[in-house]
Amino acid sequence: MSRKLLKIAYLGENYCGWQVQPNGVSVQQTLQNALEEFFGIRPNVCGCSRTDSGVHAKEFYCHFDIDSSIPLNGIVMGLNTLLPYDVSVLSCEDVADDFHARYSAKGKTYKYEIYFSQVADPFLEGRALRLKTEPDFNKALEFCSLLVGKHDFASFSSVKRTVEDTVRTVFQCTVEKQENRWSFTVTADGFLYNMVRIMVGSMLYFAQGKINEQDVLRAFETEQRNLLGNTVAPYGLYLEKVHY
């Protein structure tokens, strides 16, 4: 028996998120179906994160235990013949028995894509959030600087969160502009439920002048969710990288 680590990528629009759920098809279920067909048994698969419904992943890791002599490249190629077009296995490697895709991770990087246009771009719809008018980019940069460091991010999470410890350290946070598009990128040692989507919604509020620096600082101190912006749609969010 050996532990395998898969690196996969997927578009989340057709899935109810990573984790198996009774109300829809998940990425985990889809991958387990392919593993069962390939190996003849259904291994338990542990993922590095619980991405929400509609969220995408450019780099997602998961592990499973299997007794198999099939070469690693053969596993990659075989699974990809069984998976749908919107889920791909990028690599497979052997890891130590105590390696855990989620708990061994030291941090993650998420990216959120926004574009500004009066009309929908068919190549971006479902992949980026569309707003009709572009707010103040310099204010967006200012907001990002407020998030860097160790803070209590309780106000930046949904009431559905299942963890008690809401303190996280943001190592890097920025927004980049290219023509009519913004890319918000944040790296932290961990994220709470809906944390990135609330960060982005709050950044847009800040850039639109709807909230200010004092609101953000008070949100850290008081855990009041109503001091911040909306939770933006999931389809602009990408798990960009997992740091081990």
Where in the sequence numbering do the catalytic residues fall? 52
Could you tell me if 127 and 113 are in contact, meaning their C-beta atoms sit under 8 angstroms apart? yes
Nearest of 207, 183, 197 to residue 230 by alpha carbon: 197
Query: Within a 10 A sphere around the Cβ of 105, how many other Cβ atoms?
Result: 16
Q: Which string of b and e fits 162-185 if b means at least 16 CB within 10 Å? A: eeeebebebeebebeeeeebbbbb
Q: How far apart are CA 23 and CA 77, in angstroms?
A: 30
Cα 228–Cα 209–Cα 190 angle in degrees, nearest 5: 35
d(CA 6, CA 93): 7
